[in-house]
């Protein structure tokens, strides 16, 4: 299947700082990428759909000014968590579709202290 990478895999940051997470499709081009968040023992929650060359579409209840998404190329989308707080600590996973199937990156575990 298609490969999606994410960087970094783990990040610890101080409260009030910003963190950028990169998501890349390695062997295919993705006009659309998806960002999910997952809290322990809970299911995936779709945060936003990232569209190459246009604005992201955010799910209801997700603060677009806090979670900035940029999809600058057909293989790269970034999620920036701005002014992070401890409650933003979570597992962030990106995903992309190739030939009708959706593949997930390995995830980024964010800890805000």
Partner 1 sequence: QKEVEQNSGPLSVPEGAIASLNCTYSDRGSQSFFWYRQYSGKSPELIMSIYSNGDKEDGRFTAQLNKASQYVSLLIRDSQPSDSATYLCAAWLSGGYNKLIFGAGTRLAVHP
Return the number of the residue (3 or 82) whose C-beta is nearest partner 1.
Answer: 3
Cis omega (within 30 of 0) for bond into 99: no
CB of 6 to partner 1, least distance (A): 8
Q: Given the complex with partner 1, which of 12 and 83 has the nearer CB atom?
A: 12
Whose Cβ is closer to partner 1: residue 9's or residue 15's? 9
Toward partner 1, which CB reaches closer, 13 or 46? Answer: 46
Q: Give the binding site for partner 1 (CB under 8 A).
A: 1, 32, 34, 43-44, 46, 49, 91, 93, 100-107
Q: Minimum CB separation from partner 1 for residue 16, in Å?
A: 27
- SS (HEC) of 12-68: EECCCCCEEEEEEECCCCCCEEEEEEECCCCCCEEEEEEECCCCCEECCCCCCCCEE
> Which residues touch 25 (CB under 8 Å, ≥6 apart)?
2, 3, 4, 33, 74, 75, 96, 98
Query: Least distance in Å: CB of 9 to partner 1?
Result: 10
């Amino acid at each position: 299947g298609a490969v999606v990478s994410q960087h970094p895999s783990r990040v610890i940051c101080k409260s009030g700082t910003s963190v950028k997470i990169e998501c890349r499709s390695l062997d295919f081009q993705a006009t659309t990428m998806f960002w999910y968040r997952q809290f322990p023992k809970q299911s995936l929650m779709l945060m936003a759909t990232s569209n190459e060359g246009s604005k992201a579409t955010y799910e209801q209840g997700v603060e677009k000014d806090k979670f900035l998404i940029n999809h600058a190329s057909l293989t790269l989308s970034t999620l920036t968590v701005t002014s992070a707080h401890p409650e933003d600590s979570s597992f962030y996973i990106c995903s992309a579709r190739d030939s009708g199937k959706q593949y997930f990156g390995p995830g980024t575990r964010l800890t805000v202290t």
